Copies of this chain bind each other. A is one copy, B any other.
Amino acid sequence: MGDRAVISIDGMGGDHAPGIVVEGLERFAQTRRDLTFLLHGDEARLKPLLARAPTAGPRTTIRHAERMVAMDDKPGQAVRQKDTSMRNAIEAVKAGEAIAAVSAGNTGALMALSKLILRTVEGLHRPALVGTWPTQTGVSCVLDLGADIDADAEQLVEFAIMGAAFARAVHHKDNPTVGLLNIGSEELKGHESIREAAKLIRESDLNLAFHGFVEGDDIGKGTVDVVVTDGFTGNIALKTAEGVARMISTLLREALTSSLIAKVGAGLAMSALKGFQMKLDPRQVNGGVFLGLNGVVVKSHGGTDAVGFAQAISVAADMGESRFKAEIEDNLKRLMAIMKPTPVVDASEGTAR
C-alpha cells in the first residue's frame, strides 16, 4: 500500500455490520482516492463483501480477528477480550500503522479500549466526546457529550481547547469561536465552575477565539463554532434536541398528509423538503470523536447506514491528517502556565522564591 495514509476500520461493529461497513467504505473510497484501509474482522464474511466493492477493494487489506465485541458487552468484558475486531482496529493506530480508527460498535467498549490502548494526552485530565450539530448557518460542535459527568473549571477549559482544534480539523474553520454553555450571558449566572472557566480562558494566553457564555438556543442559531459544557448537560441538550427534531418531523408529516390538498402540496414541495432533510440528516454529521487520546478514534452511530458510516470515515481522515494533537498540546502549555506559575529561580542565591 506504499506511503499512502491508512484508515483502520472495525468491520464488525454496529447494528448492520459488516454489510453497511463495507458499503460505507466503498462510498468513502470514491471520494478519497489517496487513502488505503485496514479492515478488521471475520475474513470469511468480509472477503465476499469486499469483492463487491470495486473502489475500496483494491485498496483494502483484511486483518482477520477471531472475535467481535457485542453491542451489549460491558466495557470491562471488552477490555479483557483479546483479538476482537474493535481492539485490533485501535491497536493499528497505536502501532503507527493507521492515522485513525473508526467503529460503529458498542460505545462504552470503544471508549474503554481507546483509553486503555492509546492513553490520554499528557497534561489533559481526561478525554471528551465531541459531536457535530446542524445549525441555522452550518454546523457547530458540542462537547463533552457524556464521556463523563462532572467537569471542573480546568476541564472545561481543556474541552474548549480540544473543541477549537476539532472545529479547525474537521469543520475546516480557520479561527473557530468558542462559547461556554450557561443559563445567561451575564458573568454572575451559572455554576461556579463555568464562571471560573471563563476567567481562566480570559486570563491565559490561549490561542482561542473566546466568545463568552452562550445559552441553549445559541446552539441552533450557530452563534459559536464550539459549545463547551460538562458531559451531563451536553447529553441532556443533545437528547432534548433530537427529541424536539423528531417531534417536529412527526407532526409535520401528519400535517402534510392530513388532507388530499395538503398531500398534493406536499408532493410539489417535496424536492425542497428533501434538501431540508439533508441539512438535518444525522448521517451527514455522523462521527462522534473521542478527543484527547494519543491517536484518533471515531465512533459512528451504531444504527447508521452506509452514508453515515462513510461520513464517520471522513471525520477520521480529517482528524488523522490534521495538526490536532500539536495544537492542543500548545494550548495546554499556555493553560498550565497560569495554573501553576513557574517558580522564579534566582541563580545567584540558588533558591526558588
Contacts and interface: CB of A to CB of B under 8 A. Distances in A.
Interface of A: 134-136, 146, 149-150, 181, 183, 190-191, 215-221, 229, 231-233, 235-248, 250-252, 254-256, 258-259, 261-262, 264-273, 275-276, 279-280
B241 A216 contact: yes
Contact of A240 (B220, B232, B246): B220
A46 B338 CA distance: 59
Contact of A241 (B233, B244, B252, B259): B244
Contacts of A216: 235-243
Given A183-B146, A237-B237, A250-B136, A243 B220 contact: yes
B183 A247 contact: no
Contacts of A219: 240, 243-244
Nearest to A221: B243
Contacts of A136: 246-247, 250-251
Count of this chain's copies in the oligomeric assembly: 2
Contacts of A243: 216-221, 241
Given A233-B233, A258-B275, A248 B215 contact: no
Contacts of A221: 243, 246-247
A332 B183 CA distance: 29
B271 A183 contact: no
B255 A262 contact: no
A251 B256 CA distance: 17
Nearest to A150: B191
A277 to B, nearest CB: 9
Nearest to A272: B262
B275 A271 contact: no
A265 B270 contact: yes
Contact of A239 (B146, B215, B246, B262): B215
Nearest to A135: B247
Nearest to A266: B269
Contacts of A238: 216
A268 B134 CA distance: 29
A88 B80 CA distance: 69
A230 to B, nearest CB: 10
Nearest to A261: B268
Nearest to A223: B243
Nearest to A255: B276
A229 to B, nearest CB: 8
Contacts of A191: 149-150, 232
Given A248-B280, A255-B276, A258-B275, 19 more contacts: A136-B246, A136-B247, A136-B250, A149-B183, A149-B190, A215-B236, A216-B237, A219-B240, A220-B246, A233-B236, A248-B248, A255-B273, A256-B273, A261-B271, A262-B271, A262-B272, A264-B268, A265-B272, A269-B269
